[in-house]
Structure 1
Amino acid sequence: MTHSQKHIIGLVFYPGMTSLDIVGPQQVFSALPGVQIHRIWKTLDPIKTDDGMIVLPDTTFENCPSLDVVCIGGGLKQQAIVDDPEVLEFFQKQGKTAKFITSVCGGSEFLAKAGLLEGYRAATHWAMRQQLMSHLGVEVGTERVVVDRNRITGGGVTAGIDFGLTIASILYGEDTAKIIQLLLEYNPAPPFDAGSPEKAGSELVNKAMLFIQEMSDLELASSVA
């Protein structure tokens, strides 16, 4: 699985993000030959994700090189970050030169607010589709991964692995992506057929939306306390 071409990949981490959004793709990217991965945030201080994982960034916005691939995920606390001028400025700057501008889950909202999804289709978490369409004017696809020219976006959380393999295929070819899929033994066989709103049905979707609202209210209450 050797390859002479090198690629610089930047993964943006932030407090309150969903770890699997980025950890899934990172696992795929780390198996690619010759890639350089940057884990990026404003500072090098430890970051706590929404599931309690602690991540240590190794690159700041200020010292980040020009990236071939820039990616950000979503998270329960993304609303505290998504309008941050420093974050949006970073994406606008990288968006001018990056070969691929990408996101997983609710990370598409960052791209949209940075003006990087205008005229593009995108995937996002199912609970954010209406937000992306109605408030940010993005044409939303329901696929696990949407590829629209050099914008590559994944759906919710676990779609990040599909997303990572899609990028691996684009950068290094299908055979390499298939080898990585096999090495990861990525052979999904979920115990329930309820992984999308279309499959889950309205009753379960409503319960899930209520759960999301309760979690958001708890996060808001804890931030005010």
Structure 2
Amino acid sequence: MSAELRIVALVFPNVTQLDLTGPVQFLSRVPGAAVDLVWHSTDPVPTDSGFSIVPTASFAEAPQADVLMVPGGQGAFDILDDQVAIDFVKHQAAGARYVTSVCTGAFVLGAAGLLSGRRATTHWASHSMLSLMGADPEEARVVRDGNLITGGGVTSGIDFALTLAAELAGADIARKIQLSMEYDPQPPFDAGSPTRPEADQELVASLKANYRAIREGLVQAAAESR
């Protein structure tokens, strides 16, 4: 690992902030890590949680990433036709050691042509649409295919970050980060994915249908324009 590990994360309007801030909190603890949050400008960017995040660099100012990370949220679909953002991702990916996403950030990678023929995951409610981007969808919290590492929905980003931390700095460092952050999930309910016994299957079906109606056209258009 180099003396400085450049982690470049995309930030965009209506990003699911935990997709971004969860992994960044963990990855910032990797020795030598320097994190940049990047968008068109350094003006505050509104998240889906009612507050804004201030980018540290514009596309023009961003350093070359060692690790490129794209978070998700509805905003990820809204930028599928933002050619400047997609070109930035494509250009950064060409020089990055690792190309990564959390949740529906995978679709931004797909729009940049980075998922074709590769295994990937995303949030369960949009998982089936990955195939429209030429990916081989795999249901898992974290999926690695060569230098491509994708995390599932939202909180999966923390598992993703620890997986990547171990890859970057070794398992011992990753364990220390996990311990220091007291990442010891013990949820009060067993309803965290469609396969869990307390998951509401009517809600699962409804969310899949709703997201497909909202997002599939955007994904299809981005896939056709790659």
Same fold (TM over 0.5): yes
1:13: how far off? Answer: 0.4
Secondary structure class of the residue paired with 1:198? coil
Of stretches 28-37 and 169-178 in structure 1, the one that deviates more from structure 2 is 28-37
CA RMSD of aligned residues (A): 1.9
Aligned pair count reads 213
One-letter amino acid of the structure 2 residue matched with residue 194 of structure 1: A
Secondary structure class of the residue paired with 1:110? helix
Match of residue 203 from structure 1: 202
CA distance in 1, matches of 2:147, 2:136: 15
The 5 A counterparts of 1:64-213 are 64-133=62-131, 135-199=132-196, 200=199, 202-209=201-208
Secondary structure class of the residue paired with 2:154? coil
> Contact between 1:20 and 1:157, CA under 8 Å: does it hold in 2?
yes
CA distance in 2, matches of 1:6, 1:158: 27
CA distance in 1, matches of 2:77, 2:122: 15
Q: CA offsets per residue over residues 147-183 of structure 1, 9 Å max, x none? A: 1110000000000100111110000000000000001
Match of residue 223 from structure 1: none
Q: CA offsets per residue over residues 11-43 of structure 1, 9 Å max, x none? A: 110000100001001110121221111110010
Q: Give the gaps of 5 or more residues in structure 2.
A: 216-226
TM-score scaled to structure 1, two decimals?
A: 0.89
Q: CA offsets per residue over residues 87-142 of structure 1, 9 Å max, x none? A: 11001111111000000000000001100111210110001111112x22211111
TM-score scaled to structure 2, two decimals?
A: 0.88
> Contact between 2:122 and 2:153, CA under 8 Å: does it hold in 1?
yes
Of stretches 4-13 and 185-194 in structure 1, the one that deviates more from structure 2 is 4-13
Secondary structure class of the residue paired with 2:95? coil
> Contact between 1:19 and 1:53, CA under 8 Å: does it hold in 2?
no
Q: 2:26 aligns with which of 28, 31, 48?
A: 28
CA distance in 1, matches of 2:102, 2:166: 17
Q: Give the gaps of 5 or more residues in structure 1.
A: 218-225
CA distance in 1, matches of 2:2, 2:147: 22
1:204: how far off? Answer: 3.3
> Contact between 1:21 and 1:157, CA under 8 Å: does it hold in 2?
yes
CA distance in 1, matches of 2:153, 2:2: 33
